[in-house]
Structure 1
Amino acid sequence: MNGITLLVRYFTASIRSQMQYPASAMMLTFGQLASTAIEIVSIWALFDRFGAVKGWSFGEVMFFYALIGISFSIADFVTRGFDVFGTDFVRTGDFDRLLLRPRSAALQLVGHDFRISRFGRFVQAAVILVAATESLQFMWTPETVVLALWTIAGGTAFFVALFIFQAAMAFWTIESLEAVNALTYGGVYAGQFPLGLYARWFRTFLTFIVPLACVAYYPVLAILGRSDPLGAPDWFLPMAPAAGFGLLALSFLAWRIGVSKYMSTGS
């Protein structure tokens, strides 16, 4: 059985187990949708009170919000195993069981658990994208559709990388550090707004240290046909999501180093 077929089996088993209690699954999905909907309401309240903020309209900010939300929801859906790796695998010693199987540990962690409730955030972000399109009277073209898909792919790779880094740290810290959540869940909130709203040092951090801006801000500018008011060259904007895949490659390197240092629980 190849890796893709195995993941399909994992996915089918996970969804079937959750659908044993369909009302619970649907309520969790709706709860996820409702909780994230509060975010866009707070953003709307801000723009309703002050109007455009530094030249950015509410419709344009909804574009940032929607694409980063879609990217994160996909990453969150496929990385549940990495998210709970420290507590559910390293601390308990269950990671030994994964290493004994004739499949890569990373593949097994991807298939560990697929949560239906994550679709709530995805649906909400997709609806916001449609609303943003209508608000701006934006006309999609084949080029902008491809660029949007490229942006989502880069953003998904970026957040998957953060979850893998979080899991890799557990090899040395026993538990995944909560501080990493400031980059994962905090990154979702930071990516919802244009980069120009932040201080210079924070813009530098989000561009060169943790390249969130490369998968959220710059490509959205290219989709909307806007030049960067901060001075980034136009040719760079559509290429920026590649940074997400670069970070993903580094995270797998950190993961392999962590696995090589793993010494089990000794029990």
Structure 2
Amino acid sequence: MADLAVFARLARAQVRSQLSYRSSFVMNCFGQALAQANDLVVILIVFGRVASLGGFDISAVLLFYALSGMSFGLADMAVGSIERLPTYIRAGTFDVVLMRPLGTLLQLFASDFQLRRIGRVLTAFGVLVYVLSTSDIHWSPAKVLLLVLTPVAGAAIFGAIFVAANSVSFWFIDARELANTVTYGGSYLTSYPISIYTGWMRVLLAYLVPGAFVAYYPALTLLDHADPLGAPSWLGWLGAPVAVLAAVVAGLIWRSAVRHYRGTGS
């Protein structure tokens, strides 16, 4: 709890620093919103030529996109600064991180709490509002709870992916691009139904990297839509447990990576 309190103070300092340059902050938010909107444009172009994709109409795919975009935006905002890890390792400044009486992950997360990336979340949230207002969803208290928890659980899954993917920087000189293929690539892949991917890709996306639990399975439950691949409907309720499991696995990977760190020798 003490570490979390320190993290909260550091994050607030980062936010105040970013908001002190309001014009720059607004432009950065707008740029992030446009970056998220690029994927939306691609979806609209695709559905300009086809009526369905992987057994789903445009409303369902937009729901995948919205849930995935919100989840990734929240994770990128909170833990995306871990992408700077290769720079810390090469420059030897990660040694300083190890010397401080605070968890290494929390220090990296708080080093650049990127509130400006809220633009991604806002774009995805706008699409979510549109989809929910135009779709025939039979609401229940359980579905409302699922809708609220899904972006949070999805953000935790993406956060775990960020940590696990960037941990390879302890073994490679510069693994940033390799990590980006899993993090940013995962965001793109989870915006579409997994039924459009080949068998090995589905196994990778749904189970090894649990991206299917970010948006696909929860959206199927919200829409009462049967999975074209035959998966049971109760998988849509497993987002939170999968997020906890992913966080534990990512934490173990990080712990092992840090223990193998030997410094720069300088």
- How many percent identity over aligned positions? 36
The number of aligned residues is 266
Question: Which residue pairs with 1:216 in the alignment?
Answer: 215
CA contact (8 A) 1:61 1:194 kept: yes
Unpaired runs of at least 5, structure 2 = none
Letter in 2 for 1:161: A
Question: Which residue pairs with 1:169 in the alignment?
Answer: 168
> For structure 1, which segment, 170-179 or 255-264, has the greater mean C-alpha deviation from structure 2 after superposition?
170-179
CA, structure 1 residues 53+254, in 2 after alignment: closer, same or farther (shift >3 Å)? closer
Question: Which residue pairs with 1:6 in the alignment?
Answer: 6
CA, structure 1 residues 236+42, in 2 after alignment: closer, same or farther (shift >3 Å)? closer
Question: Which residue pairs with 2:38 in the alignment?
Answer: 38
- Deviation per residue, 1:141-185 (Å, 9 max, x gap): 321121123322321122111211133211111333412211111
CA contact (8 A) 1:154 1:215 kept: yes
CA, structure 1 residues 105+54, in 2 after alignment: closer, same or farther (shift >3 Å)? closer
Q: CA–CA distance in 2 between the matches of 1:185 and 1:54?
A: 22
Question: Which residue pairs with 2:205 in the alignment?
Answer: 206
Q: CA–CA distance in 1 between the matches of 2:91 and 2:16?
A: 26
CA contact (8 A) 1:80 1:110 kept: yes
CA contact (8 A) 2:154 2:214 kept: yes
CA contact (8 A) 2:165 2:183 kept: no
Corresponding residue SS for 2:212:
helix
CA, structure 1 residues 257+54, in 2 after alignment: closer, same or farther (shift >3 Å)? closer
- Deviation per residue, 1:176-214 (Å, 9 max, x gap): 341221111111111111111122221122123222112
CA contact (8 A) 1:69 1:188 kept: yes
Q: CA–CA distance in 1 between the matches of 2:128 and 2:82?
A: 28
CA positional deviation for 1:240: 4.7
CA, structure 1 residues 44+108, in 2 after alignment: closer, same or farther (shift >3 Å)? same
Unpaired runs of at least 5, structure 1 = none
TM-score normalized by the length of structure 2: 0.93
Q: CA–CA distance in 2 between the matches of 1:50 and 1:236?
A: 28
Letter in 2 for 1:220: A
Q: CA–CA distance in 2 between the matches of 1:15 and 1:170?
A: 27
> For structure 1, which segment, 211-220 or 236-245, has the greater mean C-alpha deviation from structure 2 after superposition?
236-245
CA contact (8 A) 1:215 1:241 kept: no
Q: CA–CA distance in 2 between the matches of 1:142 and 1:206?
A: 29
CA contact (8 A) 2:214 2:239 kept: yes
Q: CA–CA distance in 2 between the matches of 1:59 and 1:92?
A: 47
1:139-154 alignment, distance < 5 Å: 140-154=139-153
Corresponding residue SS for 1:236:
helix
Q: CA–CA distance in 2 between the matches of 1:175 and 1:19?
A: 31
> For structure 1, which segment, 51-60 or 24-33, has the greater mean C-alpha deviation from structure 2 after superposition?
51-60
Letter in 2 for 1:186: G
Q: CA–CA distance in 1 between the matches of 2:124 and 2:63?
A: 9
Q: CA–CA distance in 2 between the matches of 1:206 and 1:164?
A: 17
Q: CA–CA distance in 2 between the matches of 1:91 and 1:140?
A: 52
CA, structure 1 residues 137+235, in 2 after alignment: closer, same or farther (shift >3 Å)? closer
Question: Which residue pairs with 1:138 in the alignment?
Answer: 137
- Deviation per residue, 1:48-97 (Å, 9 max, x gap): 2222234311111111001111110111011133111111x111111111
CA contact (8 A) 2:206 2:213 kept: yes
Q: Does 1:242 align with 2:260?
A: no
Question: Which residue pairs with 1:110 in the alignment?
Answer: 109
Q: CA–CA distance in 1 between the matches of 2:260 and 2:250?
A: 15
Question: Which residue pairs with 1:257 in the alignment?
Answer: 256
Letter in 1 for 2:21: Y
Letter in 2 for 1:226: H
CA RMSD of aligned residues (A): 1.7
Corresponding residue SS for 1:230:
coil
